[in-house]
């Protein structure tokens, strides 16, 4: 139960809660000047109706229960002040000419938003709940107070859903540590009640990023009666190269709208289907691959299959899930910022809504997933040490040490204890816990981090870095790291990244290449966003679909359906 709901529901069970405790603090205030001296005057309007007295009692109870100095205390105080200034009269109910009670004009505008909430990716039933029945309340003060409570709860729920999403990122994946966006419930309620256009106020809480608006426009097509393409799923299978034969060719032709080749009919012969992966289909596959930034080689492997299946039928559920993820993102991405989209295996730098630079990346495997979060790039490290994670030390390095005591030296690694280098070959690793020690790989051409890494200190110990394993960038599916993000052209990326640093560029970093670790601190911190969008929207409204590499889009769809 939210603070707001508890705060208001209290009024339905406490008609005469004592109010003496609020004589000093719980009064609406205004600043006045008396005899030339500025002071604070208490302005509290007494309730004039039974309904107002019920509302006051509920607010008083919540205020008394809140711990002074806490966020709950501040919010209940603001809400009490607001109601107190208006004689504790309800926000959403009004009396008609015939004496009956109805929703106020502002409430009706908000109800219209609830009714159309499907267009925002929501479910109207989440807000138009059964307890919003003004006719059933009649003129019973208790029922009307409950109705007031229910409406306030629904309005705030919609506001929070629009502003920060319905699902917590941590419920999707424990490593998705995106800072939650929360509205101030009491302040929002006051704004809605005071506004002459509360409907527009609610709608303005949704993201304004162009891609969110593009997804919203695509979602509207479902409710405009537009018929979306039926799903065509291409089965997994062996690598399919031009000139080969495969039963999946028929589905590929349907998926990419490539006509079947003409096959001469022979009297009495069975109808045959051409399953040759021929030139027209290869050309169509290459165009599809290039449109998504995949290798346009016509070879159909896991990444192309995933992209084909992801984009074959952009479902309503996929659109809603990606809209939800946009609601988690910061309202301000930064004028100059870096974004990595995991399903896309790509990084880009944006400068004033224009692509400043882009390159391919390798991300974490499904087992060692790259976390989703937002941070700021603060440092660039040249000739970095690679500090080996404990999991790699245990699962990969220790077995090698048992088999070959000289393994660390062969990998340009060293072991430390208490900050001092120790001789790993002199230790019996069948009896010793390797995580009592710290292992790192020394700078050099073969270092796992390459020549440079880009740091944004975070709880996941994830960063961007170079790599000596360049061959992986030629693959379409690029989820092979232990969690960090490998950059294909790190020095080109560095040069683009340092556009805001007048005294530093890629040449500055390259001049520092050697066997000593060197740190360069950025004067201007650069926002970096590690994201997970399976749908991307171009400026012309075209939706590009990417494979659900970690299965997290499916997980979010399931949570949204609950």
Query: For 249-311, CATH number?
Result: 1.10.101
* pLDDT for 38 beyond 70: no
How many alpha carbons lie under 13 Å from residue 559 in its C-beta half-sphere?
A: 19
pLDDT in tens, 352-376: 989 999 999 999 999 999 999 999 9
* pLDDT for 23 beyond 50: no
| Contacts by residues 215-219 (CB-CB < 8 Å, ≥ 24 positions apart) | 215/319, 215/322, 215/323, 215/326, 215/535, 215/537, 215/543, 216/119, 216/120, 216/121, 216/323, 217/541, 218/314, 218/319, 218/537, 218/541, 218/543, 219/119, 219/121, 219/316, 219/319, 219/320, 219/323
Mean pLDDT in the chain? 86
Predicted model pTM = 0.79
Would you name the residues annotated as active-site residues? 465, 484
* pLDDT for 282 beyond 60: yes
Spans of all domains in the chain: 3-89, 94-206, 249-311, 386-442
* pLDDT for 27 beyond 80: no
- Whether residue 304 contacts residue 293, with contact meaning beta carbons closer than 8 Å, is answered with no
* pLDDT for 81 beyond 90: no
Residue 459's SS3 state is coil
For residues 341 and 18, the model is more confident at 341
Position 272 confidence tier, pLDDT thresholds 50, 70, 90: low
Q: By CB neighbour count within 10 A (0-12 exposed, 13-18 middle, 19+ buried), where does 389 fall?
A: middle
For residues 450 and 71, the model is more confident at 450
Position 344 confidence tier, pLDDT thresholds 50, 70, 90: very high
Q: What CA–CA distance (Å, rounded) separates 339 from 356? A: 11
CA distances from 515 to 232, 409, 450, 504 (A): 53, 16, 12, 21
* pLDDT for 312 beyond 70: no
* pLDDT for 24 beyond 60: no
Residue 110's SS3 state is helix
Choice among 94-108, 122-136, 167-181, 309-323 with the minimum mean pLDDT: 309-323
For residues 209 and 16, the model is more confident at 209
Nearest to 472 by CA among 314, 303, 356: 303
Nearest to 392 by CA among 435, 451, 455: 435
204: Cβ contacts below 8 Å, ≥ 6 apart: none
For the segment 245-266, the average pLDDT, to the nearest whole number, is: 82
pLDDT in the model for residue 13: 40
Highest mean pLDDT among 40-44, 235-239, 403-407: 403-407
State how beta strands 346-351 and 386-387 pair. unpaired
pLDDT in the model for residue 507: 95
Q: What CA–CA distance (Å, rounded) separates 485 from 530? A: 10
Position 31 confidence tier, pLDDT thresholds 50, 70, 90: low
Residue 340's SS3 state is strand
State how beta strands 485-487 and 464-465 pair. parallel
- Whether residue 363 contacts residue 485, with contact meaning beta carbons closer than 8 Å, is answered with yes
């Amino acid at each position: 139960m939210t603070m707001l709901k508890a705060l208001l529901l209290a009024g339905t069970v406490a008609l005469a809660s004592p109010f003496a405790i609020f004589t000093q603090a719980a009064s609406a205030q205004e600043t006045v000047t008396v005899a030339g001296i500025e002071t604070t005057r208490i302005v509290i309007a007494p309730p004039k109706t039974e309904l107002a007295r019920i509302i006051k009692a509920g607010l008083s109870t919540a205020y008394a229960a809140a711990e002074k100095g806490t966020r709950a205390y501040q919010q209940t105080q603001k809400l009490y002040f607001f109601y107190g200034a208006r004689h504790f009269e309800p926000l959403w109910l009004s009396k008609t000419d015939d004496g009956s009670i109805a929703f106020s004009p502002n409430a009706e505008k908000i109800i219209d938003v609830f009714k159309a909430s499907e267009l925002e990716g929501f479910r109207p039933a989440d807000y138009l709940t059964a307890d919003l029945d003004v006719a059933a309340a009649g003129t019973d003060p208790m029922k009307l107070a409950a109705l007031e409570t229910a409406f306030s709860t629904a309005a705030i729920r919609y506001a929070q859903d629009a502003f920060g999403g319905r699902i917590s990122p941590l419920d999707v994946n424990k490593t998705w540590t995106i800072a939650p966006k929360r509205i101030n419930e009491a302040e929002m309620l006051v704004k809605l009640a005071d506004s002459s256009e509360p409907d527009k106020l609610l709608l303005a809480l949704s993201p304004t990023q162009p891609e969110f608006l593009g997804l919203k426009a695509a979602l509207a097509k479902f409710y405009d009666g537009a018929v979306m393409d039926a799903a065509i799923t291409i089965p997994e299978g062996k690598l399919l190269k031009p000139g080969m034969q495969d039963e999946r060719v028929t589905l590929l032709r349907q998926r990419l709208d490539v006509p079947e080749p003409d096959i001469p009919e022979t009297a009495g012969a069975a109808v045959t289907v051409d399953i040759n992966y021929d030139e027209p289909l290869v050309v169509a596959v290459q165009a599809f691959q290039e449109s998504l930034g995949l290798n346009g080689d016509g070879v159909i492997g896991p990444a192309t299959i995933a992209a084909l299946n992801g984009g074959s039928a952009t479902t309503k559920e996929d659109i809603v899930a990606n809209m939800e993820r946009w609601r988690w993102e910061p309202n301000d991405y930064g004028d100059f910022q870096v974004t990595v989209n995991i399903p896309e295996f790509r990084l880009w730098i944006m400068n004033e809504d224009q692509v400043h630079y882009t390159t391919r990346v390798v991300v974490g495997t499904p087992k060692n997933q790259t976390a989703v979060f937002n941070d700021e790039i603060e440092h660039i490290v040249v000739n970095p040490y690679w500090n080996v994670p404990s999991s790699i030390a245990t699962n990969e390095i220790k077995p090698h040490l048992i088999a070959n005591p000289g393994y660390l030296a062969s990998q340009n690694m060293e072991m430390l204890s208490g900050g001092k280098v120790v001789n790993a070959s002199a230790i019996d690793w069948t009896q010793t816990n390797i995580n009592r020690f710290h292992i790192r790989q020394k700078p050099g051409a073969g270092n796992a981090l390459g020549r440079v890494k880009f740091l944004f200190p975070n709880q996941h110990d994830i960063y961007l870095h170079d790599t000596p394993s360049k061959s992986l960038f030629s693959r379409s599916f690029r989820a092979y790291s232990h969690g960090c993000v490998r950059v294909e052209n790190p020095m080109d990326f560095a040069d683009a990244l340092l556009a805001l640093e007048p005294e530093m560029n890629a040449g500055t970093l390259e001049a520092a290449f050697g066997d000593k670790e060197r740190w360069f601190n950025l004067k201007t911190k650069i926002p970096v966003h590690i994201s997970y969008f399976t749908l991307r929207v171009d400026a012309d409204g075209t939706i590009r679909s990417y494979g659900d590499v970690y299965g997290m889009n499916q997980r979010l769809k399931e949570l949204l359906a609950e």
